[in-house]
Structure 1
């Protein structure tokens, strides 16, 4: 067994003497402090397995940035529930931190990623928002539209368009993924735009005939959405990004910190990039590709977020034993992962011969669940 001894650390003393076991959720190991306090010239990415303290570093980073009383800090993740957990732990870390109640205020705002896109729409000039929606998705999706999940409408579009495609390309799952991974992040509005768009990492080649058929379904999807006045959450983020890029003086954040970043879609990333602009300490990203739920593989450099040279991996685990982690990853063997730089995750912090896991699908026993269950039994 190995032990780490910490001498003269006031936070550790508070945990032990205060009898608050929950304080472990915000305890920062001295070796991690540099990541929370250092100044970065651009986006920074922190990776590590479940239980290595990525979220704790993120919380301390938020407190560090809040030392500037004029700073507008956004702390976000991919669901409102997880955002609530971040908010709870941030209050446990420091109840005196200045908090923001809405996007654009000074202090720390904790919110789910889709809540941020919704807040941008609520604050936007109506005419500017309509123009941004035309630029992003090809029609004037004003505030009267209903927000729906990203999968709504694809069955209907396939039925209406009747594309001449093989079965695997006629599936709602493939077409939705093509829309999220290629069409929206590239601002594709026309057939010519789609024919010119690059599709790296999609796993299936499309010749011109197949692209034409796929585009016929996408056009029908948008036509139906306009008729029914509905907007998907991914489209909302894309329109929010287009609006903020058109009105850079209205960017409502100085710093954005992202937890569980492996589950965000390209539209989320383009919106976050537009939300904060490009400058020092703009984006701080915490992720673990082995815990990806939705199977979305995103390379941030393609979305204007350049993190090469500003990425570190945590290796000391506070929750999961090597034996449990090896077991969890062994169960999930057979697939491959890539991180947000498009590279396989390193071996650091993982058991030897346990670096390959399958990509998870919604509704299945996924990597996040297995690894976190292993941690719960440690």
Structure 2
């Protein structure tokens, strides 16, 4: 006998148990009943509710005690379907929402739910559905062949009227339309399809039409009894009598929370969980396609397949590693769970280095043990030649070239260091001198590259001296010991693999012996945000075509959110993205639900934006205690957001904060990867912020990916916000957004006090007002943001003439201590202007007069 679970059954069981007291006992009783249901003799002894149920065909409700708690099943043709467990009122609501549920099967024996009215003319026996959010004609949501099937044989005028129906059409108006159809069976099918389309349940409407056309059959309609029902994305077979299942369902009921939806496997995902591969395998998938769920389920399956052996799950993002570990703890039994390690790659490298270099344990962190200073601050200190360390002057020619082109050299060179270290082994850095810099667009000649290698060497010395390292530094440090790394895992699975570098993959290759099912990669090129060199073949992880697969159905986002995010991505595709090795943009298929139109809200200042966003997020949390809301702030790093989050008494998504018990969360864009939120609020989506105007235009695709990642974290509601002009990435999609002022939308009776925006790195380092740029030397000034875009001629003159020394030759100043001193003398002493030259002087005056 088949026993199958409906896709939200476990979620209902968890919700019932969490109410505690008699409800918890009722949930535990439901778990016991599951086993008894499979045995006909025991099933007959279970207490059925006194009142029958006519809202769902062949439904049987069992009394769980607890003052009206119920277990709802459908029993048909010797099969039992576990549908819902809950308190009396919750069960009643579920039955109303699922009125007309009819179990059918397709040609592959997969179980498919169809929702069918018993009598569409009777409000008590017809489908009842709430209106959705789409502004399109309902029938247009269907594929053409299903439109043709439902309209077959109708008069042109009637087909036109049905084709023009929208969500605004009432139940009675739909009834009046379909009353004009002559065939009763078609009348009911059209009514049901329109009702389902009105709530944007396209799959439901499609299934109803397939039932009408005969593609889906009832269980008792087959000529012979079906030997076995196959899993579908709606129902899964379970062995309720097995000890494994009993433990699993109890563990799920205790531990599952807002992440539980991620653990329901669809057939398209399950085949990658169960697959047997001869070597490294890769699954690429669109955002929201369940890649992380596949990684979690496959890790559990492999641990069960290889008893007494360890399985490793890796990701870069610390927050995502915490989430994956929680998912493993929810879905796996204890004896399996103990053999699955989930680690961020940084921590894995730390562990090995603690073993290989026990005297350097304090070195391998991203916060220096000497001063607790963050590595971002250490980098700035090094790069700007502070504290009398002038090693970074080797980078000045590259720096000057970059800023004269309007590029933030400090950030670009740090990213270039990441690229070098991800592409070349520590002992083979000279290969960089002639390599094609895939994904990097600013041309660097051999002299510049040589300077960069010298600068990188001194930066690595600096990190060692102060007792700190960054992500690429720790991977390169471990690479020195690569020959000491021996396989210690049976299988390694990598989530968000698109952001790993070639050197990372070489280290991963050493963790596991070459064997079947050794390495499994999941990723999405559209979500690539790092600047690292990425080549699987160079790392010894070439994936054969037969072991490379795709997931294209998005399960997470409402149709409106995904249309917006994917539309923005396609509007702004860069040729540089398409030329990157292993890069492929997948065209997503939409999830089967709609939601509110994404919002675009504006305010007078960033402080006003933040105040409104925090207020709105907290109000959403009060209205829905189960909702998780994320406020992602563009243009700031995780480090810069720490103090802001603390001041607002909100957790920061950084891999170290326990998010349990918190509904409203703060994050930068990048750390949202891998998560999903009921509501996503993205603040500061402004022109001049996204994309970064101080990065090469050809490399803006990384900012595009970051914004796309954050947008696709929203499951139900997406809010984009800015002060001033919106990001140019959004220009082509503004017509798809509902636009308001923040103050209009949240409807506050009194003005909200603006919040102080997050502090920038320089404020965090010194916590003092910025220096007057005119008091600086030329070298000091050229490290400031204001210097980005400074003409090359002026850059040269500032370095040569404004040196911090006051030098006079034959009574005429030849060098100056500060910019202000040079301005004063060149204005009053014509001979001083000759040092700048006519064009240089003109640029000098115009640049600083502005």
TM-score, normalising length: structure 2: 0.37
> What is the CA-CA distance between 1:334 and the residue it aligns to?
1.4
Query: In 2 relative to 1, CA 170–317 (structure 1 residues): closer, same or farther, beyond 3 Å?
Result: closer
Q: How many pairs are equivalent?
A: 348
> What is the CA-CA distance between 1:109 and the residue it aligns to?
0.8
> Alignment partner for residue 181 of structure 1, among 398, 416, 419?
419
Contact 1:262–1:340 (CA under 8 A) maintained in structure 2? no
Contact 1:42–1:280 (CA under 8 A) maintained in structure 2? yes
Cα shift readout 1:288-309 (whole Å, capped 9, x = no counterpart): 2223344546232233321241
Aligned to 1:195: 433
Contact 1:65–1:71 (CA under 8 A) maintained in structure 2? no
Cα shift readout 1:214-256 (whole Å, capped 9, x = no counterpart): 223223223323433433232212222442x3124x3322211
Query: In 2 relative to 1, CA 339–121 (structure 1 residues): closer, same or farther, beyond 3 Å?
Result: farther
Cα shift readout 1:90-147 (whole Å, capped 9, x = no counterpart): 22212334234xxxxxx11112221111111223365xxxxxxxxxxxxxx9334252
Contact 1:71–1:254 (CA under 8 A) maintained in structure 2? yes
Larger Rg: 2
Residue pairs, 1:18-37, within 5 angstroms: 23-37=260-274
Aligned to 1:143: 361
Contact 1:144–1:229 (CA under 8 A) maintained in structure 2? yes
Listed as ranges, the gaps of 5+ residues in structure 2 are 1-201, 208-231, 367-373, 592-698, 719-850
Aligned to 1:344: 584
Contact 2:281–2:548 (CA under 8 A) maintained in structure 1? yes
Secondary structure in 2 aligned to 1:303? coil
Q: 2: CA distance between counterparts of 1:200 and 1:113?
A: 23
Contact 2:310–2:489 (CA under 8 A) maintained in structure 1? yes
> Alignment partner for residue 402 of structure 2, among 158, 161, 167?
167
Please tell me whether residue 298 in structure 1 is matched to residue 499 in structure 2.
Answer: no
Answer 1 or 2: higher relative contact order, Cα 8 Å, separation at least 6: 1
Aligned to 1:2: 203
> Alignment partner for residue 508 of structure 2, among 272, 279, 282?
272
> Alignment partner for residue 323 of structure 1, among 553, 557, 560?
560
Secondary structure in 2 aligned to 1:280? coil
Q: 2: CA distance between counterparts of 1:294 and 1:201?
A: 10
Please tell me whether residue 57 in structure 1 is matched to residue 294 in structure 2.
Answer: yes
> What is the CA-CA distance between 1:88 and the residue it aligns to?
1.5
Aligned-residue RMSD, C-alpha: 3.6
> What is the CA-CA distance between 1:324 and the residue it aligns to?
2.2
Aligned to 1:103: none
> Alignment partner for residue 277 of structure 2, among 40, 47, 54?
40
> Alignment partner for residue 124 of structure 1, among 356, 363, 370?
356
Contact 2:314–2:493 (CA under 8 A) maintained in structure 1? yes
Aligned to 2:329: 91
Q: 2: CA distance between counterparts of 1:54 and 1:343?
A: 17
Contact 1:180–1:266 (CA under 8 A) maintained in structure 2? no
> What is the CA-CA distance between 1:26 and the residue it aligns to?
0.5
Q: 2: CA distance between counterparts of 1:53 and 1:12?
A: 24
Please tell me whether residue 369 in structure 1 is matched to residue 369 in structure 2.
Answer: no
Q: 2: CA distance between counterparts of 1:45 and 1:213?
A: 38
Query: In 2 relative to 1, CA 90–12 (structure 1 residues): closer, same or farther, beyond 3 Å?
Result: farther
Secondary structure in 2 aligned to 1:299? coil
Secondary structure in 1 aligned to 2:587? coil
Contact 2:329–2:337 (CA under 8 A) maintained in structure 1? no
Cα shift readout 1:65-98 (whole Å, capped 9, x = no counterpart): 1121122101122233221211221222123342
> What is the CA-CA distance between 1:60 and the residue it aligns to?
1.4
Q: 1: CA distance between counterparts of 2:265 and 2:424?
A: 39
Contact 1:238–1:270 (CA under 8 A) maintained in structure 2? no
Aligned to 2:319: 81
Query: In 2 relative to 1, CA 31–237 (structure 1 residues): closer, same or farther, beyond 3 Å?
Result: same
Q: 2: CA distance between counterparts of 1:339 and 1:370?
A: 24
Q: 2: CA distance between counterparts of 1:190 and 1:298?
A: 17
Q: 1: CA distance between counterparts of 2:708 and 2:451?
A: 35
Q: 1: CA distance between counterparts of 2:363 and 2:533?
A: 29
> What is the CA-CA distance between 1:167 and the residue it aligns to?
2.4
Query: In 2 relative to 1, CA 66–209 (structure 1 residues): closer, same or farther, beyond 3 Å?
Result: same
TM-score, normalising length: structure 1: 0.78
Secondary structure in 2 aligned to 1:109? strand
> What is the CA-CA distance between 1:341 and the residue it aligns to?
4.6
